[in-house]
Amino acid sequence: MKILLHTCCAPCSLKCVDQLRAEGIEPVGYWNNPNIHPFTEYRSRRDALLQYAKAVDLQLVMKDEYGLREFIKGIRPDFDYRCAFCYDIRLNATAKYAAENGFDSFTTSLLISPYQNHELISQAAEKAAQTYGIEFLYRDFRPFFREGQQRARELSLYMQKYCGCVFSEEERYQKRKAADRG
Domain boundary assignment for the chain: 2-181
**Better-scored residue on pLDDT, 167 or 101:** 101
φ and ψ at 143, to 5 degrees? -60, -15
pLDDT of residue 138: 97
Establish whether 16 is an annotated binding residue. Answer: no
Question: 145: pLDDT confidence band, cut at 50, 70 and 90?
Answer: very high
86 marked as binding residue? yes
| Architecture of domain 2-181 in this structure | 3-Layer(aba) Sandwich (3.40)
38 cis-preceded (ω within 30 degrees of 0): yes
Residue range 97-122: mean pLDDT, rounded: 97
Residue 182 has pLDDT above 90, yes or no: no
Q: Is 8 among the annotated ligand-binding positions?
A: yes
Top pLDDT among 67 and 144 is at: 144
pLDDT at 74 over 90: no
**Contacting residues for 27 by C-beta, under 8 A, at least 6 apart:** 3, 4, 5, 16, 17, 20, 21, 58, 107
Under the banding of pLDDT at 50, 70 and 90, the label for residue 181 is confident
Instruction: Answer yes or no: is 163 a known binding residue.
Output: no
